[in-house]
Amino acid sequence: MDDKTRYDQGMKVRREVLGDVWVDRSEQGKTEFNKDWIDFISRTAWGDVWSRPGLDRRTRSVIVLTSTISTRNWDEFKLHVRAAFNNGLTKDELAEIILQCAIYAGVPPANHAFKLAQEVFTDMGI
């Protein structure tokens, strides 16, 4: 695949997973400084990795959520809590994911993840 095809595919997947509002906001935030970065993420993370056939999006969401809890990457965690619903996960499953992470990533990050997930649920009206 050429770069344009990977970018187009990445933007399609990115919109389906994160939603148009998020992607539009990100695109509006493009500057001369960060435009290459946004292009890179769209092509590689979304056009290459998220588009691979080996895992479904639901499974990819679980992996991203556990990774972001483990690395304490809270902004990405909140973003992907929202995205998890687009990929078919439920609130109960999100709670199970966080509980599982508590065993391997620690209680403090899990505690914070529960707090942030609840904030996202409140923002989403669920």
pLDDT digits (tens, 9 = 90+) for 21-50: 999 999 999 999 999 999 999 999 999 999
Domain boundaries, the chain: 3-49, 57-124
Class of domain 57-124: mainly alpha
- The per-residue pLDDT for range 45-104, each reduced to its tens digit, is 999 999 999 999 999 999 999 999 999 999 999 999 999 999 999 999 999 999 999 999
What is the sign, positive or negative, of the torsion defined by CA atoms of 45, 50, 55, 59? positive
For tokens 């992996």, name the residue: 63
How far, in Å, CA of 116 to CA of 79, rounded?
10
Report d(CA 97, CA 91) in Å as an integer.
10
